[in-house]
Amino acid sequence: MFSRSASRTFTQSRQFSSSAARQTKVAVLGAGGGIGQPLSLLLKQNKLVTSLNLYDIRGAPGVAADVSHIDSPSKVTGYPADQLDQALEGVKVVVIPAGVPRKPGMTRDDLFNTNASIVRDLAAAVARVSPEAHLLIISNPVNSTVPIVSETLKKAGVYNPQRVFGVTTLDVVRAARFLSEVTGAHPDECKVTVVGGHSGSTIVPLLSQIAHGKGVKGETYDKLVHRIQFGGDEVVKAKDGAGSATLSMAYAGAKFADALLRGLSGEKGVVTPTFVKSDLFAQEGIEYFSSNVELGVNGVENIHPLGPLSAEEEKLLAACLPDLKKNIEKGEAFAAQS
Ligand code: NAD
Ligand code: LMR
C-alpha cells in the first residue's frame, strides 16, 4: 500500500531499443474533429513522430492529405471509418480525442452517455491490434474515460497501468497562463503542478509550491483557483454552442505527447502531471489520480508524491476526492456492465 508521501517506481524491464525509438508510429483517433485536426498538425511537426495515422468516422483521409504536405519527414496516412484496425497496426502511441464536446450548461459528466461507449470501443480495438501501445485519453469526462479504457484493456488481458494516461495538461497550461496574468511573471516561471482529476472541483492547483504562486492570497487566490478549475467553462461559454476548447487543447495534447515521446526515447527527468493508475489515494478507494509523473522508456516510471500542501490546498484536496471517486466508480461500473 502506498502513502501520499511515498513515491512509486515501476521496476519492469527498462530495455530500450534505439531503433524502436526512431520508428515511432502515432495514431490519432478522432483526427477529423476540433481537437484532432490541429493536434495532427502539431504532431506532424514533432521530430520524434515518424508515422502519423489519422483515423475518424468522418473526414480523416482529407485531414491526412492536407497535413501530409507539411515539409517534415514523417509519413501521414488517413483511415476512413471502416479502417480502424489498419490505423492501429504497429502504433506505439494512440491519442484519443474522439467524442462529443460540451455545450453551454453541460458538465463534462453529461458527455458520459455518448463518450463512454466511443472510448470503450476504441480501447477494445487497441487491445486487439496494438496491445502494447501507450494510450493518451483526451475524451471527456477524463475522470471516467481513463477507468473505462483501463477496464477494457484488463478484460482483454493486456492492461499495463504504465501505458494509460488521462491528458490533464490543459489544466497545467491554463494554470501557468492565468498565474502569469495575475503576477506579471513570464508563464515559464509559473509552472504550477495541478493534481487530482480533470473537472471543476477535482482540479487542484498547488500554487504554494512555486515562488510566484505562494504570494497570491485572499480574493485574488480564490478567483485564480476558480479560473483554473473552471477555465473550460470560459471557452464553452465564449464558443456559444460551437464546442469547447480545441486549439489550446491541441497545444496541450501535443505538449503531453512530446513529453511521453521524449521519455519513451530514453530522455531522463521528463516529469509532468497526468491522470494515471496511482496508489497515492488508494487507501481512500481512489485508484486513479493526476500528479507529477516521471515518463520513461516504459511510460509511467515513477509517480511523485504531492509534496507539501498549504491549508487552502488541503481543503481543495478534501473537496476533490469524493467527486473524483464517484467519477472513477461510474467509469468502472460502465465497463463492468459492457
Ligand atoms: P469534435 O466534435 O470537434 O470532434 C470529435 C471527433 O470525434 C469528430 O471528428 C467525430 O467524428 C470523432 N468521432 C466520434 N466518434 C468516433 C469514433 N467512434 N471513432 C473515431 N472518431 C470518432 O470534438 P472536440 O472539440 O475535438 O472534443 C473531443 C473531446 O475532447 C470531447 O469529449 C471534449 O470534451 C474533449 N476535451 C478534452 C479536453 C481535456 O483537457 N482532456 C479538452 C478539450 C476537449
Ligand atoms: C476543457 O477543460 O477545456 C475541456 O475539458 C473541455 C470542456 O468541456 O471544458
Tell me: the pLDDT tens digits for 190-205? Answer: 999 999 999 999 999 9
Contacts 24+ apart (CB under 8 A), 18-21: 18/266, 20/92, 21/48, 21/264, 21/265, 21/266
Q: Active-site residue numbers?
A: 198
Q: Is 231 annotated as a binding residue?
A: no
Q: How many beta carbons lie within 10 A of that of residue 115, not counting itself?
A: 23
Measured from the alpha carbon of residue 103, the closest ligand is 2
Q: Return the DSSP state at 141.
A: P
The whole-number pLDDT of residue 7 equals: 43
CA 126 to centroid of chain Cα atoms: 17
Distance 38 CA to ligand 2 centre (A): 16
Q: Would you say the CB of residue 232 lies under 6 angstroms from ligand 2?
A: yes
ipTM (interface pTM): 0.99
Tell which atom from ligand 1 comes closest to the C-alpha of 98: 7
The whole-number pLDDT of residue 172 equals: 98
Specify the pTM.
0.95
Tell which atom from ligand 2 comes closest to the C-alpha of 106: 8
Please write the tens of the pLDDT for every residue from 62-110.
999 999 999 999 999 999 999 999 999 999 999 999 999 999 999 999 9
In the chain, the domains with their CATH numbers are 24-168 (3.40.50.720), 169-248+268-327 (3.90.110.10)
Q: How far apart are CA 290 and CA 172, in angstroms?
A: 11
Q: Is 99 annotated as a binding residue?
A: no
- Does 11 have pLDDT greater than 60? no
Q: Would you say the CB of residue 101 lies under 6 angstroms from ligand 1?
A: yes
Q: What is the identity of the amino acid at 154?
A: K
- Does 22 have pLDDT greater than 90? no
Mutate-to-test residue for ligand 1 from 37, 139, 230, highest number of ligand atoms within 8 A of CB: 139
Measured from the alpha carbon of residue 253, the closest ligand is 1
Distance 271 CA to ligand 1 centre (A): 26
Cell readout for 46 is 514533432
